């Protein structure tokens, strides 16, 4: 489809075989919970968008995110070196999003944040189906990373769900793709292809619940010769349709609802993640943590992203089970008010 919002002002809902050309949120017929039509200011204030690019290998873990929260532009980037336990992390907050730019085309355009001599840039190329990350920081850190959904073929999860009484969320997820590029930092210089690195990617936007919470799990790696990716969540994107899935060599396999069991006060302790249909049974143990807290009254966030290792089993219907042994990945515990 060319546009997510239809001529009647309502989104297309469902799981799609490909991304919409544009998330044209300004055409949404946005109403109050009592049915009053809301104008351009309310559409701007309540629309939120974020994009995330993650890197996974045995020798280097990384993540970069950009978020447009209308009143605030947010960005973070981190690198974690498992062998030494050392970590680099930077956070940026831009009032009213000044210094940021966000494309509403999931497969095309640029989302970026500039703060002084620091640049976080995520670029998506529709022609090549490439996703590219560029980070240039004042301390000399530089990350160039990219992957393609075309070679070999990969089917992303593209889903739009209703949210609360008057909203919707479009989410596009990728995991289990090989990644190339270069990283230069005080942790060392790394060639991502030589590391056998994998990537995952999230592009999400819409009218999310004003106050919400979610858990999320993602892994990317290889089991023997099979490329494996996983994307599971609880708390968002599961009204009528679900983003829950995993990939085997780029083939998307949907999963039912999942339950996360963990100690919120000790997020590095083991997590248990299971799906109600029996396809997913995983244990996660954290080795590092990126944490952010923000409380500005109208905006608040309590965010923990944990990186560590998964073990367990995936049971694709009608196929041999896939055993997960010490694969790197991420889990998240997020509260947000926006």
Q: What is the mean pLDDT of residues 147-160?
A: 95
Q: Averaged over 283-291, what is the pLDDT?
A: 95
Confidence category of residue 151, pLDDT binned at 50, 70, 90: confident
Calpha distance 133→194 (Å, rounded) = 18
Q: Tell me how far CA of residue 17 lies from CA of 251, 256, 262, 310, 317, in angstroms.
A: 12, 19, 34, 29, 20
Chain segment 167-177, per-residue pLDDT in tens: 999 999 999 99
Six token digits for residue 270: 């083991």
Mean pLDDT over each residue of the chain, to the nearest integer: 96
Backbone angles phi, psi at 45, to 5 degrees: -65, -40
Cβ neighbours for 183, distance < 8 A, ≥ 6 positions apart: 55, 60, 62, 79, 142, 143, 144, 145, 189, 190, 192
pLDDT digits (tens, 9 = 90+) for 33-76: 999 999 999 999 999 999 999 999 999 999 999 999 999 999 99
Is the pLDDT at 14 greater than 90? The verdict is yes
Contact 322, 314 (CB under 8 A): yes
Q: Per-residue pLDDT tens for 64-112?
A: 999 999 999 999 999 999 999 999 999 999 999 999 999 999 999 999 9
pLDDT band at 113 (very low <50, low <70, confident <90, very high): very high
C-alpha angle 60/53/30, rounded to 5°? 155
- What pLDDT is stored for residue 192 in this prediction? 98
> How far apart are the C-alpha atoms of 10 and 295, rounded to whole Å?
33
What integer is the mean pLDDT of 128-140? 97
Mean pLDDT along residues 125-141:
97
CA dihedral 318, 320, 322, 323 (to 10 degrees): 130
> Would you state the structure tokens that stand for residue 320, as one six-digit string?
């041999």
Query: Residue 244: its pLDDT value, please?
Result: 98
Measured CA to CA in angstroms, residue 155 lies from 120, 125, 150, 245, 246 at distances of 26, 16, 9, 11, 11
pLDDT at 303 over 90: yes
Considering only CA atoms, give the Rg of the chain.
19
Secondary structure element (H or E) that encloses residue 167, with its range: strand 167-178
Local structure of 3: helix, strand or coil: strand
**pLDDT value of position 148:** 96
Task: Please list the alpha-helical segments (H only) found in the chain.
Answer: 40-46, 192-195
Residues above pLDDT 70, as percent of the chain: 100
Q: What pLDDT band is residue 156 in, cutting at 50, 70 and 90?
A: very high
What is the pTM assigned to this prediction? 0.95
């Amino acid at each position: 489809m060319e546009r997510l919002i239809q001529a009647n002002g309502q989104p297309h809902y469902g799981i799609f075989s490909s991304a919409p050309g544009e998330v044209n949120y300004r055409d949404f017929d946005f109403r109050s919970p009592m049915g009053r039509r809301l104008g351009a200011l309310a559409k701007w204030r309540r629309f939120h968008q974020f994009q995330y690019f993650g890197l996974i290998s045995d020798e280097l873990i990384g993540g970069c995110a950009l978020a447009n929260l209308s009143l605030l532009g947010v960005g973070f980037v981190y690198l974690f070196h498992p062998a030494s336990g050392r970590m680099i992390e930077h956070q940026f907050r831009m009032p009213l999003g000044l210094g940021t730019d966000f494309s509403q085309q999931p497969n095309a355009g640029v989302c970026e944040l500039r703060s002084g001599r620091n640049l976080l840039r995520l670029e998506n190329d529709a022609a090549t189906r490439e996703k590219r990350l560029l980070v240039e920081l004042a301390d000399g850190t530089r990350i160039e990373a990219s992957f393609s959904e075309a070679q070999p073929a990969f089917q992303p999860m593209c889903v739009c769900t209703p949210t609360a009484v008057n909203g919707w969320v479009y989410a596009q997820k990728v995991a289990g793709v090989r990644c190339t590029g270069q990283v230069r930092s005080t942790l060392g210089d790394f060639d991502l292809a030589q590391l056998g690195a994998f990537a995952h990617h999230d592009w999400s936007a819409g009218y999310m619940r004003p106050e919400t919470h979610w858990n999320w799990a993602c892994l990317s790696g290889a089991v023997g010769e099979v490329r494996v990716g996983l994307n599971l969540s609880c708390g968002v994107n599961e009204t009528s349709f679900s983003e829950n899935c995993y990939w085997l060599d780029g083939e998307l396999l949907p999963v039912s609802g999942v339950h996360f069991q963990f100690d919120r006060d000790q997020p590095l302790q083991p997590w248990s993640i299971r799906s109600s249909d029996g396809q997913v049974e995983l244990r996660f143990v954290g080795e590092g943590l990126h944490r952010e807290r923000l409380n500005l009254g109208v905006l608040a966030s309590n965010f923990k992203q944990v990186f560590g290792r998964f073990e367990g089993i995936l049971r694709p219907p009608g196929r041999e089970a896939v055993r997960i042994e010490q694969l790197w990945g991420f889990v998240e515990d997020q509260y947000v008010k926006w």
